[in-house]
Amino acid sequence: MPRIRPEIEPLKPYLGGPGIEEVARLYGVRDVAKLSANETPLAPFPEVQEVIAAAAADINRYPDLRCVDLTEAMSKAVGVPGEFLWFGAGSSALLTNTARALGGPGRSFVYPWPSFVMYRVNAALGGAEAVEVPLDETHSVDLEAMSEAIRADTTLVYLCNPNNPTGTYRTQDEVRKFVEQAPEDTVVVLDEAYVEFVQAESSSQAVSMALERPNVVVARTFSKIYGLAGLRIGYFIGQPDTLYSLRKAQIPFTVNALAQTAALAALDFPERMAERYEMNRRGVEQLESAFEDRGIEYVPTQTNFIWFRLGPKTSDAIQALLERGTIIRLMIGEWTRVTVGTRAENDKFLADLGRVLAEV
Ligand SMILES: Cc1ncc(COP(=O)(O)O)c(C=O)c1O
């Protein structure tokens, strides 16, 4: 038997659930709505698909390790010099690199819980003690409790805003106050994977917090509103010295050439991003008002997913939904999460949910 590191042994491999084709095959359903992973339901823009196809001819070469073209374009888009950017194979790769760089025996990581499942995995991979801070009674990140949980040995804090899986949001003033209280030698990762969907405030100040403080970095991704989840690309924004230190834990050449080309092309369509934002908000309204009509408890969302209470038979209901072709996977106790889909996918989910709740 392999002698797995003791801190890794209790983890379950991240195997994910069945995809669209597999569900169709397994349960003999033609119409499948995958509402389990918070992806956008829309295909990448046609122009982006074209550059991906064209870039295929050059993939006998290793990708540009320094992501030069993308860095230049992002630097303009985000308004920071290129040295303040670090790309990874999805922001989750960067979150993991950060854990590898900052973990080790006698160190702790603080993060909210429930939150993004990779924080828990990263604490184990980083060999650090996990300090999980429960959400408050409104399913929101409890920033006061997070501040109190930071100890002298805390080298890393993950702060997910809006929070996955609950969709709750802390204002920029609240986040700033938290960041100001954090010790200067504790890295605070402001994970903004869903920032483009936020309605509560018109803009995030996380980047300016990172520019002001060497211990603050911002994590963002092309996997959500940009529609590039399958290519794996995300980025950190932070001060060059901080990013330089964290990069020591990075595996080289993981940001592939197609991902770099596609991300660069995707930046050209801000007006279509606005359309996607609007479409998502319409979907949120559709689902939230359906939950309200049916008396289903839910948490109002600032994202492209909704946390709702499925009840004591959550796991049976999720399985029954799967057999009807609606994929929602994650659950914690009586609660689960559904990703906002297209109008047709949301209709299917609501129809299937109605039938399943009548049966289980
Ligand atoms: C809160 C949060 N952060 C980061 C990620 C990672 O996204 P990716 O690795 O696709 O960039 C996700 C993905 O679901 C997420 O929910």
* Res 82: pLDDT: 98
Query: Are 113 and 131 contained in the same domain?
Result: yes
- In this predicted structure, the answer to whether residue 50 has a pLDDT above a threshold of 80 is yes
Per residue in 212-235, pLDDT (tens digit) is 999 999 999 999 999 999 999 999
The domain boundary residue, chosen from 238, 266, 294:
266
* Res 161: pLDDT: 98
* Res 131: pLDDT: 98
Stretch 268-283: mean pLDDT: 95
* Res 53: pLDDT: 97
Query: Are 29 and 103 contained in the same domain?
Result: no
- In this predicted structure, the answer to whether residue 351 has a pLDDT above a threshold of 80 is yes
Query: Are 262 and 279 contained in the same domain?
Result: no
Ligand 1 centre from 119 Cα, in Å? 10
Is 339 close to ligand 1, i.e. is its CB under 6 Å away?
A: no
Ligand 1 centre from 98 Cα, in Å? 14
The answer to whether position 12 is within a domain reads: no
Query: Are 230 and 329 contained in the same domain?
Result: no
**Could you tell me the pLDDT band of residue 209, with boundaries at 50, 70 and 90?**
very high
Is 122 close to ligand 1, i.e. is its CB under 6 Å away?
A: no
Is 38 close to ligand 1, i.e. is its CB under 6 Å away?
A: yes
Interatomic CA distance for residues 62 and 159, integer angstroms: 34
209: its two tokens = 């917090």
Query: Are 259 and 276 contained in the same domain?
Result: no
Residues in a beta bridge with 134:
113
Per residue in 123-142, pLDDT (tens digit) is 999 999 999 999 999 999 99
Query: Are 200 and 76 contained in the same domain?
Result: yes
Say if residues 287 and 338 touch (Cβ distance below 8 Å): yes
The answer to whether position 3 is within a domain reads: no
Is 221 close to ligand 1, i.e. is its CB under 6 Å away?
A: yes
- In this predicted structure, the answer to whether residue 18 has a pLDDT above a threshold of 90 is no
pTM assigned to the model: 0.97
Is 191 close to ligand 1, i.e. is its CB under 6 Å away?
A: yes
Per residue in 166-197, pLDDT (tens digit) is 999 999 999 999 999 999 999 999 999 999 99
**Could you tell me the pLDDT band of residue 3, with boundaries at 50, 70 and 90?**
very high
Query: Are 196 and 318 contained in the same domain?
Result: no
- In this predicted structure, the answer to whether residue 330 has a pLDDT above a threshold of 80 is no
Ligand 1 centre from 222 Cα, in Å? 9
Residue holding tokens 């029954």? 320
Is 115 close to ligand 1, i.e. is its CB under 6 Å away?
A: no
Q: What CATH number corresponds to the domain at position 57?
A: 3.40.640.10
* Res 16: pLDDT: 80
Ligand 1 centre from 209 Cα, in Å? 21
Report the first-to-last Cα separation within the chain, whole angstroms: 42
The answer to whether position 112 is within a domain reads: yes
* Total structural domains within the chain: 2
**Could you tell me the pLDDT band of residue 335, with boundaries at 50, 70 and 90?**
very high
Q: What CATH number corresponds to the domain at position 342?
A: 3.90.1150.10
The answer to whether position 170 is within a domain reads: yes
Tally DSSP H helices, then E strands, for the chain.
Answer: 13, 13
The domain boundary residue, chosen from 266, 286, 304:
266
Looking at the CA of residue 233, tell me the nearest atom of ligand 1.
Answer: 11
**Could you tell me the pLDDT band of residue 118, with boundaries at 50, 70 and 90?**
very high
* Res 232: pLDDT: 98
Ligand 1 centre from 21 Cα, in Å? 23
Stretch 152-176: mean pLDDT: 98
* Res 266: pLDDT: 97
Is 155 close to ligand 1, i.e. is its CB under 6 Å away?
A: no
* Res 171: pLDDT: 98
What domain range includes position 331? 20-43+270-359
* Res 14: pLDDT: 81
Per residue in 62-100, pLDDT (tens digit) is 999 999 999 999 999 999 999 999 999 999 999 999 999
Nearest CA residue ID for atom 2, ligand 1? 193
Q: How far is CA 107 from CA 101, 217, 248, 252, 348, in A?
A: 11, 19, 18, 26, 47
**Could you tell me the pLDDT band of residue 326, with boundaries at 50, 70 and 90?**
very high
Nearest CA residue ID for atom 12, ligand 1? 193
Is 116 close to ligand 1, i.e. is its CB under 6 Å away?
A: yes
The domain boundary residue, chosen from 240, 266, 292:
266
Is 186 close to ligand 1, i.e. is its CB under 6 Å away?
A: no
- In this predicted structure, the answer to whether residue 28 has a pLDDT above a threshold of 90 is yes
Mean pLDDT over each residue of the chain, to the nearest integer: 96
